[in-house]
Amino acid sequence: MNFEIISPTTTDELLVAIEKCQNRHFRFGAGCTDLLMELKKNPADDLTVINLAQVVDDRLTNLTKTSKLYRLGSMFTAGRIVVNDELKTHFPVLHESAHNLASTQIRQVATVGGNLCTASPSGDIACALVALGARCEMLNTNGKSRSVAVTDFFTGPRKTVLKSNEVLYGISVPLNNKETAKIYSRFIKIGTRRSMECSVVSLACHIQTDAKGVILAAGVAIGASAPTIRLAKDACSSLIGKTFKKITRKEKEEFAATVLSYASPITDIRATAWYRKEVLFNISKSIFE
Amino acid sequence: MKKNSIKKETLHEVTFTLNGKKVTCKIKGATVLLDLIRDVFDLKGTKSGCNEGECGACTVLVNGAPVNSCLYLAINANGKQIETIEGLIGHDGTLHPVQDSLVQSGAVQCGFCTSGMAMAIKSMVDLYETGQHVPGDIRTELPSRDEIKKYLEGNLCRCTGYVKIIDAAEKLFAKEDCR
């Protein structure tokens, strides 16, 4: 494994570094847990790594709150999500996904931005962020930013809309509905063991209900079931207005079938497509229990 | 003129605190912390197990947090406090309470995972001592066996079956001076 490394210490330096690398083969290094693994297995020639870990910029590393949203800098680590009580209260699904990511050691360095940019169909934090309707903010070398919904950030396995002159700067998660009295949150990760596991199928959901238990908003995302993490839009909208505790068996099955319609799993070393579909149907039904 | 096919590599200077001592060295960009600790500083207590972040044998503490040194770029150690198993032992050679507890509980068999285990357990004890959170829960009482297991999920042991390792950690928390 060999590469050149550039370690900018400010965002301005970072943008200059990206500009300089436009004609070179370069990669970003955030927590580097995925990157180093990949480079150890498949060393690349003439690679430059732009090291994001030494950039001092609150917007890149910290959590901020506005009247409409929480914004996580893309270098915010999984470990910091886990110990953040505010995030745990408002977005339990995000907490769960971070808590279930890899291992204690990996969570100390693995970042939200890294999880998104790796664009794995089975990304844990990414799946929760899709369910939460988060948006990605990207900054280009001219200092201009644009944002897209996390769902649209992924274009395929390990592919994103990030252009070569852009860096993922932050992720914003909209605040919950004002009338929300209870949140039903699930992060279901099916795999062969609990730690250090890449999901066979995963499902993240964030359902908000009012004081009477009527569903105000719902976000359901599925992982490892399609080339990218998918938001099961129709399944989400089918829940609005229903009383969470009074959903009938038939409605649960219809809901699960709708979720399943978003899946196009493959057969690989971890599971067959058939198995993934069966499991996905069952876990979709189980979220109401 | 024949061009030299081997490109001269840029070396980067890093300064950090290693087991309480300030150190400076020059490294290649791709050097991982594990290699720096073992090969340059000759501290062989940190083990290279799977070398891919799975087993935790290479666990060291970076500013108190346990990380896999095999997946940590040495360049990012700059300005940080790094602690390895060699830093646990007292000046007079006495074992750290974590090491002592592992020995007393019979939690060591082949010993390859032990230094990583000890570092992970130490970080958990430190979190408790400073009254900080242990991931997920506000600290109100002693951690349960399940919480210890969850915390040590990144450390594999192929000999002990974990029971005695978890015993060792549990005993440590039960001690007065750790609360």
Look up the CATH number of domain A182-286. 3.30.390.50
- For A58-174, give the CATH class: alpha beta
Q: In this predicted model, which residue has the larger pLDDT, B76 or A192? A: B76
Query: In angstroms, what separates the C-alpha of A77 from chain B's closest C-alpha?
Result: 12
Burial degree of A212 (CB within 10 A; 0-12, 13-18, 19+): exposed
The answer to whether B92 faces chain A, any CB pair under 8 Å, is no
Confidence bin at A259 (pLDDT 50/70/90): very high
**B138 and B170, same domain (yes or no):** yes
B53 to chain A, any CB pair closer than 8 A? The answer is yes
Which of B78, B151, B153 comes nearest A194 by C-beta?
B153
Most B CBs within 10 Å, among A103, A106, A187, to test the B interface: A103
Tens-digit pLDDT profile for residues B88-141: 999 899 999 999 999 999 999 999 999 999 999 999 999 887 766 555 454 557
Nearest to B136 among A36, A82, A194 (CB): A82
Domain that holds residue B126: 97-178
Residues of chain A with CATH 3.30.390.50: 182-286
Q: Whose structure tokens read 């847990």?
A: A33
A211-255 confidence digits (pLDDT tens)? 999 999 999 999 999 999 999 999 999 999 999 999 999 999 999
Neighbours of A184 (CB within 10 A): 18
B146 and B171 belong to one structural domain: yes
Q: Do A39 and B30 touch (CB under 8 A)?
A: yes
Residue type, A54: Q
* Amino acid at site B171: K
Q: Do B55 and B116 fall within a single domain?
A: no
Interface ipTM: 0.94
The Cα–Cα gap between A83 and A142 comes to 35
